[in-house]
Structures are given as C-alpha cells and as structure tokens.
Structure 1
Amino acid sequence: MKLPFLLTLLLLELVCSYKVLVFNPAFGASHSNFLGKISDILIDAGHDVTMLIPVCMESKKDLVGSKKVKKIIRIDQEPRSKLMQEEAKTEEMIKKQIWKLDADITIFFSMIKNFSIASGYQCENIFKQTAILEQLRNEHFDLGITESLFICGFPLLDSIGVKTIINADSVLYLDVVKHALGEPASTSYYPGVYAKNIDRMSFRERVRNLFGMAFSWYFSWTRFQGELEAIKPYYNKSLTWEDHINGAAYYFINSNQYLDYPSPTLPKTVFIGGMQVNTNKHGKVKLEKEWDDLLNLRKQNVLVSFGSNAFSCDMPDEFKESFLKVFASMPETTFIWKYEQENATLADQLSNVKLTTWMPQNDILADERLTLFVTHGGLGSSMELAYQGKPAVVIPLMADQPRNALMLTRHGGALQLDKTFLNNSEKIREAIQTVMENPSYKKNAEKLANILSSQPHQPKDVVLKHCDFAVKHGDLKTLNSEGRHLNVFQYYSIDIALAAGLFLVTIISFIIFTIIFVFKKVYFMCRSDKQKVE
C-alpha cells in the first residue's frame, strides 16, 4: 500500500512543479541574498529554479545568495562598465568615506549619470549574449523573478518568452514602483526610503521627505531610461519602464506590515519581509561549537557588525580606538566584532574581544545568550534583529539605514546613536549600557518578535502561495489601478479644486456685482425721487 501512495505523491509533485528563472545581478550582497532566499523557498517546494547572474561589479562576481540553486548561468561584466568603475573607484571611496559622510543619499548625486550609463552598458551586454538567450528561450519557463533595482530584467524575460513575471525588491519600497502601479505614496506622512524622520513630520521634515522621494524617483528614472535606450537595437517593443513594472503579476517588497510604517497599498503589493529569517520558533537554530563556547564565557554578550558594505577595518583610527576603549571598560562582557581584516591584532590585548571576518549573524542573534546587537541598521540586519527579538544600538551610516533605525526605535526595542559620536567612547558606552540596563528595551524587542512570529500570514508561505497563484493566473489586469494613468493634477484632484475655486470666485463675483448693481439702481432711484419732490 505504501508504494502506490509514494508514487502518487511523486506524481503530484511532478504535476504541480514549475520552472522559474531568477534574474539576479551580482551587485550587492543584500540584493543577491534576497532573491536567493526566494529561490530557496521555491526549491524546497519542489520547483525547478535557474538563476541568471550578470556580473555588475567585479568584487561581487561570486555572489549567488543561495546554496540550493544548482542551475546557474553567469554573464561577465561588460568591459566599458568595468573600466568606468575602476576609474571612478566608487566602491573604494564609499567604503573609506562612509563613516564620516552625511547619511543623506543626495551626496551621491554626482554618481547618477555614470551609474546610469554603466547600467545601460550592462543591459546591452546581456542582450548581446544570443546563445545564452536562445538557451533560456528553449527552457520555456513558467515564471520569471527580477528586481526593479535594474529595469533590464523585465524586457529580458519578455524577450525569451516568459509570460508571467514577479518584481521582487530587496528594499522597503521604491517610489517609482508605487508611481508605476498607481499606488498612493503621500510624502506628508509616509517616510521615503532615504528619510531621516518618522511618520509624524514637521513642515521642514515634510519638505525634506518630499525632496528625498523626488531624488529617489529621479535616480531610478535615469537608470531605467539609460537601460531601455541601450537595448533598442535588440528589443523591438516600445514599452516604457512603467509598462514593464505594471506588467508584473505581483510586487514583492522586503517589508513587513507589523514592523514598518503603515501605508495604503494595492493588491499587487505583497509584503514578504522576514521570509529570510530562521528563528527558534520556526525551526531550531543551532550554533557551531566555536560560537557556542564563546557565548558561554560570560553572562553578557554583544555582537558588533556594520554589514557587508561598510568594513570596520576601514574605520578611521579614532573610531576604532573608541570601540576598543568601550570594550576595555566592560571586561565582564564578551564583544564579537565583525572586523574584515584577516589575522588582525587590533584587540589582542583584550581577552573579552573576538575579531572575526565572518560570523553566523542570524544564528547568534537567535541565541538567548546574546544580550545586545550594535548594528548599522541595514534592512537585512534590521529584519533579523526584529524577528529574533534582541535589543539594539543602531548606528546608521547611509542610504536607507536612518529610516530603518527609526523604524526599529518606534517599537521601543532599539536606541539610535548618530555616527558623528563614533569618535566618542563615552557616548558609545552610554548607549550600550542604557539598552543593557533598561529592561524595557529587551521587553519591547521580545514583544515585537512575538508579534512577527504569530502574524496571520507567514512571509515564506506568502511567497510560495503568490508564486503559485501567478503561475496559474498570470498578470491579472483586474488588479491594475487606473490611478497610474493620471497626472499629478488629476491624481490629487487639483484640477477639480482649481475648477471649483474658479467657479466659486465666479459666483461670488457675480453676487457682489449684482449687489452693487442693485444698490446703485436703488440709490439713483431714491435720489431721483428726492429731486422730484424738491
């Protein structure tokens, strides 16, 4: 009896499985990891996943984001794009200067033009790979997944015959996507991706938020235009970038409604933030012996990490000295510091400090022995922190990190420290001790984690169910909002307000004119009668 049952299960799996192509440019670890995790979820469900990885940065060429994807096709970086990056030394500049530069994203305004040109070169190079494209076309994929960090994935998937596409963004949300979908994006109460304020804003903060969103929109728009212009000789459809984005079946967003600020959304927007986090409540997390032994040494343990883009070894020396002073002043606490220099001797004199180029961050955060996390507030780290329920000191450095920091602190489990204080060991120690000694931070962090772990729809299930639905039904045009066709005056009914105002002014003017006319008539009539009497 068991054999037919197993054969039935196998047959069902074969019938229900589908082929997926994931367009995952090697540009940044957070982007690759996000799309890689979606790939893992699909593979675990029995689906056949192929990953196309065009290299966008030489230093990121080995990024995959998944250990489960076996079918990987790489496209080397376009030579002109590579030369531009080498000459500009953009990545090196960011790593060295990120510690002191203003966190406002507009500091990178001068890089937009070159980045857009390089993105065009990259997209053109992909379309030139005719043998690879023909190979992919012959696979007859049921579903394509790409990220609107670059628009190139959309026309690419369309050109090889993929009918159903999902846009999966590793960031909170992009204003250009909301614009393309016709989704409300009010700058008066919803902080933009690069905002440095909460959702309750002063006049000045609303002005800053408006310009921040405008900059984000312009940054994406110039890049999209550059890519579409570059592939005109190879892609014969005249679709705009808005058409491509709106043509996706769903918009997966790396946000969580129970963590992020509330905002009105359309049915196409699907929140999957947290799908990449493995917690003890949803599968036991087990540390390797090295890390397990380390956490047993002392009662208090602090993890210090500034992510994959900002290297602690590139910190100014005075910042390193500040951290070392803090570590030395707290000998009863073990500090695990992500320091990206092999065999560094910086903290050899401190027995309570562990320097490491890598550590299993999520697994350490999941361990109940970890007391505190000192983080830059990257979105990936913020999600892990929130789901694992650990109190934190957040020191945002750039881009979306200030917004993420405020997003966490509004829940009461984290304290934000401005990076201008990184040369002040007293300020750093004060922040760490405040969070460690005030039980409300731990209580609030655990409360948030409980909310996320018990939310009605778990992100992993949401990913899988929406992918299944998209394969079955494609892009449902009935989910499209007509708001995307309206201009600013129509969208916010400014034209109606102006017309109503004009009509009101006309009516009031007419009434005033009539009153004056009648008054004059009566006046002259009375005067005439008086003269007759005299």
Structure 2
Amino acid sequence: MAAHRSWLLVSCFLLEVLLLEAANILTISTLDGSHYIVMNRVSQILHGGGHNVTKLLYDNDQITDFRKEKPPYKVINWHLPEDQQKKFDNRLHLLVEELGHGRYEHKSLVKIYQFFGDLCSQFLSLKDIMEFLKNENFDLVLLDSLDLCSLLIVEKLGKRFVSFLPMQFSYINFGLPSAPLSYAPVYGSGLTDQMDFWDRVKNLLMFFDFSMKQREILSQYDNTIQEHFAEGSRPVLSDLLLKAELWFVNSDFALDFARPLFPNTVYVGGLLDKPVQPIPQDLENFITQFGDSGFVLVALGSIVSRHQTKEIIKEMNSAFARLPQGVLWTCKDSLWPKEVTLAPNVKIMDWLPQTDLLAHPRIRLFVTHGGMNSINEAIQHGVPMVGIPFFADQPENMILVEAKNIGVSIQLQTLKAETLAFKMKEVIEDKRYKSAAMASKIIRQSHPLTPAQRLVGWIDHILQTGGAAHLKPYAFQQPWHEQYLLDVFLFLLGLTLGTLWLLVKVLGAVTRCLSGAKKLKQT
C-alpha cells in the first residue's frame, strides 16, 4: 500500500513536470567550497526537471577543484582583472586562515562580509553582464541566502526569487519564521531544544546579541548600496530577504530540531545524494587489508583541507595510527609536512569518492569538519561521526549531531592525538551511535518524495501560480511591534492601569465622603 501511494505521488509529480512549459531560471553562486557544490547540484536538478538554467558564477581559483565535468546548463563566468583578482584572492586567503586557526570571532566574520561587500560592488560595476542578465528575461532566480550580493543583483534585475539556505534552520533572521526562544536555540548559543531556566535566559540574551551583530554584518553592504542604487530607491537588505517566494533549507528533521514552519519553507536535506558507484580497485584493496575491522573515512572539506596546520595534521595522523581500522584521508600530498611520517594504516589522497565510501559496507566511522553537506551524506548512509568543527556553522551542526546521538565532536583548539583516538574508538565500539545513525537514515529515506522531487515540484508550483503570495503570511508586511502584539499589550496594560487608577480615585472619593458624613454626624 505504501509503495503504491509513493508511486502514485511520483507519477503525479512527473505528469505535472511534463505539462509545464520550460522556464528560464537564473541561479547565482559567488561563494566557493560547499556553497558552489550545492548550487551546482540545484542547477543540475532544475535542468533535469526540464527548465532552461543559466548559472552566474564568480570564477576564482578556489573552485577549480570542483569543475571536472562540464555542466549541462549554461554558465556565465565573471572575474576581476588579473591584478585585482590576485589582491582579492590573497585577502580572502588571509581571512579564511584567520578563521581556520581558531581565531573565529565576530570581527572576523564582519571582515569576511566586508570583503564580499567590496566584491559585490565590483560585480555591479560590470555593465555588460548586468545588461545581458536584464535582457535574458528570466522567469525566476534561485540564490544562496548567505550570498547577500545576490539579493542586490536580483533587486537590480527586478525579478522574483527563491532563497536556498545552505545551513541548518537556526534562529537567524533570514526572513524565516522562528519558533519560540523557549525551545529554538539562537545561532551560536551552543544550546539544544531542551533548555532549563538558565539556558532560556542565555538564549534570550543571545537573541538580542545576535540581532545587533547581524545588523553590523548587513551594514558591510551599505557603501555598495549607496554606490549602485539611486537615492530614494536604495533597498534595505533585511527587507529584501522577506521578498523570497520560497525558502529551501538544506536540512530536514532527520537532523534538525522539530519546529513549526510557514508554508513557503521547504526542507530539502539530502540534495547531493546520488546513485552509489563501485569504488576504485586500489581503494577496495586497501580496505580489504583490514578485514572485519573496516575503515574510517576522513574528509574535512575543501576549504579546511587547504588551511589545516602542520600541528593539526601531526596530531590527527598520530591518532589514526592507534586504530585497528584502515584510514582513508582526503589530504593533498603537496600539503603533507615532510617531517611527519604517514601512519602505516593511513592512505591519503587528493580526492576520494566520499558518497561511494560512505555507502561501503565496511565503513565504521566518518571523521568530518561538520559541514552540512557532509553531515547530510553521512545521514543518508547511516554512518556515525566524529566532528572537528573549524568555523562558521560547523560547531552548530555538530551540536545537532550530538543531540541526535549520531556522533560526537572535539574542539579544534584542544585537538590532541589521545583525545581524538579515544573519541573515535568510543563511537566505533558503542553501538548506540550506529543505531541512532541508522534511525536518522530511515527518517530521511522514508519520505514519499526525494529532495530533488520536492525542489522541482515546488519551483513548478510557484511558476504555475505566478508566485507564492498564497504561501506567505501577512506577518511579513507587519512591523515588529505588531507581529509581537506589543501595541495590544501596551493598550491592555494602559487600560488596566487606567481602570485601577480610576477605581482608586473612586474608592478614595467614597472613603472621604463617608468619613466626612461620619464626622458631621458626630458633631
């Protein structure tokens, strides 16, 4: 019965796709690493769904590792003049190093967004590309919500857009509805959905703190807005976020905490899932050496791998040497310190087929940096994790992993071989982690539609209906004091206080009157 229902839903979905005319869709990607990977996948899915896709791509040396295959959709590359590009690349490299070396503070994040604000100004000055985009007459734009420049690009084009949130759904003001602070952790709070009294106090204070920090981040685009928008028509970034027709979130309740959602918010965690392929024979031969002990996969993401220090590599290598399992580690040979001898049970490679290895029956553990894409892939195959979060949303992601009992994390600043080895053995040997990982896998895979089908289906829906006005509550148009009923509370408070004041005055007058009458009678 369940299989028949799933087939019926898929059939209806395919019929809708066939009846819908192809739309012209622009996807925008100016961020690298995992952001490039997921937006590339989104573009592929929309192209496969029958739409004409054009991708606007900021071409820099940070994404060359990912472009091994020619995409099936149209790509518009833009880049700065060579001398300028070199300065921007060096500046970004230093900022990422600052984050990766444990100096992650709010001021570092502000510098990152200041960098992207300057880069955005450079792009908006490219009149030839902007004119081309205006003339292409796109029906819809799909953008990465962390790429704030894309909001300004869309505003210039005057097009409807859909936002893709590449991180977990956290209490971060991206124009999305948020559950009450009593059980929705604020981004950066380190809390779960189960809070005691002092946790809730902390969460409330963090909410106000983060709101102020976010305003500072958004202000890094003020100069760009003043330079490229005429006075009187200058947009406010926080207002532009509310214009999104739909929000796609790169997570789901296999990982995230349960919370209420508005109808225009759709979870699509697991978009990067693809059919499993046999792994290369040399990797299979390596895994076979370790028999039933199996192997551990280590992948710390594209950006982290480029910036990990000699000390980190040394400690990790020493920890892996203490395991009975084989270890496959994504680490470029050119970055390996010459004075560090590779452990005999470790094999390093520039690139590994991560998805295929996570699906391998002999995998025992995934050591990850805690990026959302990697966590989603591990959940898809029911693999427990040890996380070494470096920066950005990675610590927050690992809090979810620990709360769901899918794995544990270790702080980068306290990373020692003994501690890491202990954590890895704990997760491998304690069957509760594997059981929890398999439970999350079942939640993910039992959904009647795949993440790709949900993505295309909802895009088709808003194309057919002319937008998503019917999915967006009126709250998006209300000022904050109306949303939180502060005006109503103040009115009722004033009415109550006024009534009490009047009652006191009346009682006072009656008392004085009775007292006067009593004195008169006595005389």
Under a length normalisation based on structure 2, what TM-score does the superposition of the two structures give?
0.85
- Matching residue's letter, 2:493: G
Determine if the alignment matches structure 1 residue 309 to structure 2 residue 303. yes
Do the aligned partners of 2:314 and 2:340 also contact (CA within 8 Å) in 1?
Answer: no
Determine if the alignment matches structure 1 residue 37 to structure 2 residue 37. no
Distance 1:176 1:237, change over 3 A: farther
Distance 1:95 1:208, change over 3 A: farther
Q: How many residues align?
A: 502
Equivalence for 2:115:
115
Distance 1:111 1:220, change over 3 A: closer
1:407 Cα offset (Å):
0.9
1:270 Cα offset (Å):
1.6
Partners of 2:508 and 2:84 in 1: CA distance: 73
Distance 1:60 1:343, change over 3 A: closer
Distance 1:165 1:94, change over 3 A: closer
Which is further off, 483-492 or 200-209?
A: 200-209
Select which of 101, 108, 122 maps to 2:103: 101
Select which of 68, 73, 78 maps to 2:71: 68
The CA deviation string for residues 364-402 of structure 1, in whole angstroms up to 9 with x for no partner, is 112121100111111111111111110111222222111
The CA deviation string for residues 426-452 of structure 1, in whole angstroms up to 9 with x for no partner, is 211111111111111101101110110
1:125 Cα offset (Å):
2.7
Partners of 1:293 and 1:316 in 2: CA distance: 29
Do the aligned partners of 1:39 and 1:66 also contact (CA within 8 Å) in 2?
Answer: no
The CA deviation string for residues 470-507 of structure 1, in whole angstroms up to 9 with x for no partner, is 22223232333221233332221122222222221222
Determine if the alignment matches structure 1 residue 368 to structure 2 residue 361. yes
1:13 Cα offset (Å):
6.1
1:95 Cα offset (Å):
2.8
- Matching residue's letter, 2:257: Y
Distance 1:376 1:508, change over 3 A: same
Equivalence for 1:190:
184
Equivalence for 1:5:
none
Select which of 396, 409, 412 maps to 1:403: 396
1:419 Cα offset (Å):
2.4
Which is further off, 194-203 or 294-303?
A: 194-203
Equivalence for 1:77:
80
Equivalence for 1:17:
22
Do the aligned partners of 2:170 and 2:184 also contact (CA within 8 Å) in 1?
Answer: no
> Any gaps of 5 or more consecutive residues in structure 1?
1-8
Equivalence for 1:4:
none
- Matching residue's letter, 2:373: G
Select which of 218, 221, 235 maps to 2:218: 221
1:275 Cα offset (Å):
1.3
Equivalence for 1:209:
206
Could you say what secondary structure the match of 1:310 adopts? helix
- Matching residue's letter, 2:301: G
Partners of 2:512 and 2:132 in 1: CA distance: 88
Equivalence for 1:497:
489
1:210 Cα offset (Å):
0.9
Partners of 2:496 and 2:307 in 1: CA distance: 66
Distance 1:61 1:336, change over 3 A: closer
Partners of 1:191 and 1:125 in 2: CA distance: 39
Select which of 468, 478, 481 maps to 2:473: 481
Select which of 436, 448, 463 maps to 1:471: 463
Could you say what secondary structure the match of 1:302 adopts? strand
Could you say what secondary structure the match of 2:363 adopts? coil
Could you say what secondary structure the match of 1:311 adopts? helix
Determine if the alignment matches structure 1 residue 328 to structure 2 residue 321. yes
Equivalence for 2:194:
200
Distance 1:113 1:397, change over 3 A: closer
Determine if the alignment matches structure 1 residue 230 to structure 2 residue 227. yes
Partners of 1:97 and 1:135 in 2: CA distance: 36
Partners of 1:325 and 1:211 in 2: CA distance: 43
Distance 1:252 1:177, change over 3 A: farther
Equivalence for 1:142:
139
State how 1:203-352 maps to structure 2 within 5 Å.
203-207=200-204, 209-211=206-208, 213-214=210-211, 217-232=214-229, 239-242=235-238, 244-278=240-274, 283-298=275-290, 299-311=293-305, 314-317=308-311, 319-330=312-323, 332-342=324-334, 344=336, 348=341, 350-352=343-345
- Matching residue's letter, 2:261: T
Partners of 1:343 and 1:106 in 2: CA distance: 29
1:468 Cα offset (Å):
1.5
Distance 1:524 1:430, change over 3 A: same
1:70 Cα offset (Å):
4.4
Q: CA RMSD in A?
A: 3.2
Which is further off, 464-473 or 192-201?
A: 192-201
1:238 Cα offset (Å):
5.2
Identity of aligned residues (%): 22
- Matching residue's letter, 1:297: Q
The CA deviation string for residues 239-292 of structure 1, in whole angstroms up to 9 with x for no partner, is 5445543333322221213321223222222211211123xxxx3432122222
Distance 1:13 1:199, change over 3 A: closer
Partners of 1:300 and 1:109 in 2: CA distance: 40
1:86 Cα offset (Å):
5.5
Do the aligned partners of 2:168 and 2:249 also contact (CA within 8 Å) in 1?
Answer: yes
> Any gaps of 5 or more consecutive residues in structure 2?
1-13
Which is further off, 295-304 or 61-70?
A: 61-70
Do the aligned partners of 2:328 and 2:347 also contact (CA within 8 Å) in 1?
Answer: yes
Partners of 1:501 and 1:373 in 2: CA distance: 56
Distance 1:517 1:466, change over 3 A: same
Partners of 1:206 and 1:174 in 2: CA distance: 12
Could you say what secondary structure the match of 2:75 adopts? strand
Could you say what secondary structure the match of 1:294 adopts? helix
Equivalence for 2:515:
523
Distance 1:467 1:223, change over 3 A: farther
Do the aligned partners of 1:176 and 1:220 also contact (CA within 8 Å) in 2?
Answer: no
Determine if the alignment matches structure 1 residue 428 to structure 2 residue 409. no
Do the aligned partners of 2:174 and 2:241 also contact (CA within 8 Å) in 1?
Answer: no
